[in-house]
Structure 1
Amino acid sequence: MIKCVAIDDEPIALSIIEEYCKRYGDVELQCFTSPVSGMECVRATRPDIVFLDIEMNSHNGIELAAELPQGTCLIFTTAFSQYALDGFNVDAVDFLHKPIFYPRFERAMEKAGKFIRPAWQDDDPGSLALKAEHKTVIVGLKDIILIEAMDNYVKVYRKDKPMLMSQITMKEMESVLPSDRFVRVHRSYIVSTAAIERFSNRTIYLRNHPRPIPVGRKYIQAFNNLSNIFQPK
């Protein structure tokens, strides 16, 4: 869960950020029209991301930025583009110019994710953040049974949970999965070793999955190397 605080003296601007955070998914957001109350919350809760307006009636966001706790990811939101350079001078990750449209908001969140992901994923090293249906979904590695390629998407089959479709390639997926828990056995399949019920040189049968999975010719040796040390339960 990504924890965020938004500070803006315009309620409409806050409602837009709130709507976009819900659409993005896996975001916990607190909104404040009062800069004083908002900064008190930031200091008390130390959120991952702060959305901060620059020109508010009683405060200047550039000055408030200097008071943020170390390590806070800052995204400025403002209707005044002339502040962009000032924003980056205080180490803002991004600068959203109002009116903010969702694709631009999503890019800002992805940029912020590169800074905060190590911190919030370390809380649960057994999970993976995937984009699914325009939302970010945290998937437990222990729940994954099988990953199947489908063009530039993958289908993620999970134990006792709905299948997810995520826009990521098999190569990218293989690179982020722990190699001691997952093995690619075919150009179209990655399997969880914990889900393997039985296997032969060319076929794998998984628990909680009805279809046998073929072992591709290119991957036979790699799978055989694994099967030498794998002991089905």
Structure 2
Amino acid sequence: MIKCVAIDDEPIALSIIQEYCKRYGDIDLQCFTSPIAGMDCIRSTRPDIVFLDIEMNSHNGLTLAKELPAGTCLIFTTAFSHYAIDGFNVDAVDFLHKPIFYPRFERAMEKAKKYMKLSAEADEMSGTITLKVEHKNVIVNLKDIIVIEAMDNYVKIFRKDLPMVLSQITMKEMETMLPPDKFIRIHRSFIISVASIEKFSNRTVYLQKFPRHIPVGRKYLQTFNNFYNTFLTR
């Protein structure tokens, strides 16, 4: 099932997308006339595809596109064709010009599915994750990550001999992107790379090429103790 979200302040435009998604099949679609509600849904559910209008009464879709989670497959839907170049500058996979006809919608869906397949294969083969940095997608190699630190609604990704990456994503979302055998959350504000551990006790962790020690939070103590015991018996 492909998870999709559509944002458009025109209910008729949303009903057309809804009809086409039903006709295409295997799509779970949520529609929003409110850009704010739609973006809240996108951040919490991380859909595969977002259909986004550009000129809305209260918001501009080009601005909203820069706030989408990294790796989101974006398809613009708009009556204004002069936005096409701007749309592709924010990594849109396709640009549907209203009025939208089903054959064109179907082609956009096929392009989106191909994009998602290639992205998933590339991430799996290369051991990378894709993060949104400002309004661009940035690929980060998992083997380079030492520690991830929370900072409000952002995270700092500290890497070996590379600049720190600042991305607008929650720690909960970050956890879902990381392989659990290679990364462990030990504090409300810290996820660490297992491979970067230099030494540790049941309350403190020291990491290679990282100047600070990392505390083990009380909430995560049992999880880390289980890891600690497993690590010692290897």
Q: Which residue of 1 aligns with 2:14?
A: none
Q: Which residue of 1 aligns with 2:140?
A: 139
Q: Which residue of 2 aligns with 1:86?
A: 103
1:147 offset after TM fit, Å? 0.4
1:168 offset after TM fit, Å? 0.9
- Aligned-pair identity in percent equals 50
The SS at the match of 1:172 is helix
Q: Which residue of 1 aligns with 2:162?
A: 161
The SS at the match of 2:157 is strand
Q: Which residue of 2 aligns with 1:16?
A: 85
Structure 2 runs not aligned, ≥5 long: 1-70, 72-80
Q: Which residue of 1 aligns with 2:207?
A: 206
Q: Which residue of 2 aligns with 1:122?
A: 124
1:116 offset after TM fit, Å? 4.1
TM (norm. structure 2) is 0.57
1:134 offset after TM fit, Å? 1.5
In the alignment of these two chains, the number of paired residues is: 153
Aligned-partner Cα distance in 1 for 2:114–2:217: 38
Q: Does structure 2 conserve the Cα–Cα contact (< 8 Å) formed by 1:76 and 1:87?
A: no
1:118 offset after TM fit, Å? 1.8
Paired residues for 1:63-82 under 5 Å: 75-76=94-95, 78=97, 81-82=98-99
TM (norm. structure 1) is 0.57
Aligned-partner Cα distance in 2 for 1:113–1:221: 40
Structure 1 runs not aligned, ≥5 long: 3-11, 28-48, 50-74, 95-107
Q: Deviations over 1:193-215 (max 9, x none)?
A: 11111111111111110011000
Aligned-partner Cα distance in 2 for 1:173–1:183: 11
The SS at the match of 2:146 is strand
The SS at the match of 1:139 is strand
Aligned-partner Cα distance in 2 for 1:16–1:91: 19
Aligned-partner Cα distance in 2 for 1:225–1:92: 47
